[in-house]
Amino acid sequence: MSAARRTPLATALRGWGGLLGIALLALALLVVAPAVLSDFRLGNLGKYCCWAIAAVGIGLAWGRGGMLVMGQGVFFGIGGYAMAMHLKLEAAGPGNVPDFMQLYGDGTMPGWWEPFRSGAFTLVAIVVLPALVALVLGYAILKRRVRGAYFAILNQALAVTFATLLVATIKQTGGFNGLNSFPTFFGYNLYDPVNKQMIYSIAAGLLIACLLVVWHLGRSRFGELLVATRDAEERVRFLGHDPANIKLVAFVAAAVMASIGGAMFAPIAGIISPSDVNAAASILLIAGVALGGRASLLGPALGAIAVGYGQSALSESFPNHWSYFQGALFIVVILLIPAGLASLPPRLWAALPRRGRTRKAATA
C-alpha cells in the first residue's frame, strides 16, 4: 500500500494501532486469563509469556534489524540461571550451600555464586550481565561486518557452546539436570497458588512492558534507522551513520529481553536446564517469531505464545505423534505465509474490494 493511497484510518493505526493492540493483549493476559484459567493452565501461559518476552527482542533484532539471532538461548539462559542461582541460595538459607553441590561435588560453593545470595544483585545482573555479554560479542561481530548466514551460524554455535559448557560443569551449574526445586521466590512460597498467580502477573506485565519499549523504539528516529540499516546498510553508512552501532543497540536490547524472559521462566517452570537454553530451544524461539510475523509489533509475542500453546495442546491430545504435527505446521506456515500470521489481516484487508474499504474507513 503506497503512502498516497493510505486512508486516514491506516495512518492513524500506524502510530496508535500498535498501542491499542498492546492494550488488548494486556487486558487478555492480565485480566481475562487469571479469571478464566486454572492455576495449572495459567502457569503454562506464564511459561509461554517468558518465551514471548524473548521473542519480542528477536522481533526487534531480526524483524527490524535483519540480524538472524539464532542463539538467544544463551541470553535466556543467563537470566534463567542467574535467577535460579538466587532461588537455590534462598532455598539453602544464609551461609548454606545448594543441595546439588553436596550431592555431586565436595560441598563447597564456587566464589562466583556468592553475590547471587543478594536479591538486588541478582535483579541487576539479570539486566546487566546479558547486556555486557551482548555488547562485547556484538561489537566484535558487527564491527567486522559479519552478516546474514555467517551471523546466524556464529550465534547458533554460541548456543551450542553455552549448553555444552553447562553440561560439563555439573558441580557448578547442576550439569545436564540443571537447577530446580525452588520453594520460594523472594520470600514468597511458590507452592501457594496466590503466589503462583503473582509471578504469572509479573511475567505478563514484563511482556507488556517489553512490547511498549519496542513500540516506542519503532516510532523513534532509532527505529527508522534500524529498518533502514536492515534494508540498505551501505546507504545508511553512506549517509554518515555507523550501521554497526545501530545494530548493536538492537542486539543488546534483544539480549536483555531474552534474559528477562529466562529469569521469569525459572520460577514459573520450576526448572532451568541446558535443554531450555540450547540450540534447539533457540531455534524454537525463532520459529515462534517466524510464525507470528517477525517484522510486526505483536507477531513475535503472539507467535511464541502460539508455539508454546501448540506444544502443550498437541502433546496432550496426541502424546505419541504430536511432534510430526508440529513439524508439518511449521512447514505449512513458512511455505504459505512467509511473513507470518500477523501478515494475514493486512493481506485480507488488501484483498477486499477498494470501494468497500473506503466506505468502511469513512464510517469508522
Partner 1 sequence: MSTSRTRLAASTAAALAAALVLSSCGGSKSDDGSAAAADSCVDTSGDTIKLGFLNSTSGAMAISEQTVRDSLLLAAKEINADGGILGKQIEPVEEDGASDPAVFAEKIGKLLTSDCVAAVFGGWTSASRKAMLPVVEGSNGLLFYPVQYEGLEASENIYYTGATTNQQIIPAMDFLASKGVKTLFLAGSDYVFPRTANKIIKQYAAELGIEIVGEEYVPLDSDDWSTQVAKIVKAKPDFVFNTINGSSNVGFIKAYYEQGLGPDTSPIISVSIAEEEAPAMGKDVTGQFAAWNYFQSVETPANEAFIEAFQAEYGADRPTSDPMEAAYTSLYLYKNIVEKAESFDVDDVNAASDGVSFDAPEGTVTIDGENHHIAKTGLIGRINAENQFDVVWSSEGPIEPDPFLEGYDWWDPSAE
Using a 10 angstrom Cβ sphere, with 0-12 exposed, 13-18 middle and 19 or more buried, the burial of residue 258 is buried
Q: How far is the CB of 180 from partner 1 (least distance, A)?
A: 5
User: Of 186 and 349, which has the nearer Cβ to partner 1?
Assistant: 186
User: Of 78 and 340, which has the nearer Cβ to partner 1?
Assistant: 78
Using a 10 angstrom Cβ sphere, with 0-12 exposed, 13-18 middle and 19 or more buried, the burial of residue 114 is exposed
List, in sequence order, every residue forming a beta bridge with 185; answer none if it has no partner.
188
Q: How far is the CB of 146 from partner 1 (least distance, A)?
A: 21
User: Of 151 and 200, which has the nearer Cβ to partner 1?
Assistant: 200
Q: How far is the CB of 192 from partner 1 (least distance, A)?
A: 5
Q: How far is the CB of 346 from partner 1 (least distance, A)?
A: 27
Contacts of 2 (CB under 8 A, 6+ apart): none
Select from 344, 310, 309, 306 the least CA-distant residue to 325: 310
User: Of 256 and 340, which has the nearer Cβ to partner 1?
Assistant: 256
Cα-Cα end-to-end distance for the chain: 19
User: Of 158 and 340, which has the nearer Cβ to partner 1?
Assistant: 158
Q: Helix (H, G, I), strand (E, B), or coil: what is residue 272?
A: strand
Look up cell 559479519; give the residue.
146
Q: How far is the CB of 293 from partner 1 (least distance, A)?
A: 22
Distance CA 218, CA 224 (A): 7
